[in-house]
Amino acid sequence: MSAKIKYTDEPLGKVQVVPDFLPSPAELAFREESVKVTLALSKKSIEFFKLEATKNHTQYQRMIRRLIDAYVDAQAPTRQSTRTLRDKAAQRR
C-alpha cells in the first residue's frame, strides 16, 4: 500500500438514490427469540447505540438486533423474487 492514490474530479455517471429502509432508533426496541453470537463492533457504533438506548429506555444490544432484523426484512423481497423466478423456470422444464 505504498503507492499514493491519485484522486481526479471525474463525473460519477448514473447515480441511483437508495430509499432509507432503516428504522429510527425508537423503532429498534422489540423482543424476539435470539441466538447468541460474538461480534466485534467499532467503538463509535457502540457509543451511538448506548446513547440512543438510554434516550429510548431500552438496551443497546436489543437495538442492534432490531437493526439487523430490519436489514434482513428489507432484503426478503429480493430473495423471494429470485426464488419465484427459479420456481417458474422449473415449471417450464
Task: Report domain extents, the chain.
Answer: 65-93
pLDDT tens-digit profile, the chain (93 residues): 678 888 888 888 888 888 888 888 777 776 667 788 999 999 999 999 999 999 999 999 989 988 998 898 888 776 544 445 455 545 544
Query: Which pLDDT does position 11 carry in this prediction?
Result: 85
Distance CA 27, CA 25 (A): 5
Decide: 63 and 49 in contact? Cβ < 8 Å: yes
pLDDT for 52: 95
Q: Give me the phi and psi of 85, to 5 degrees please.
A: -60, -40
Residue 26 gets which letter from DSSP?
A: G
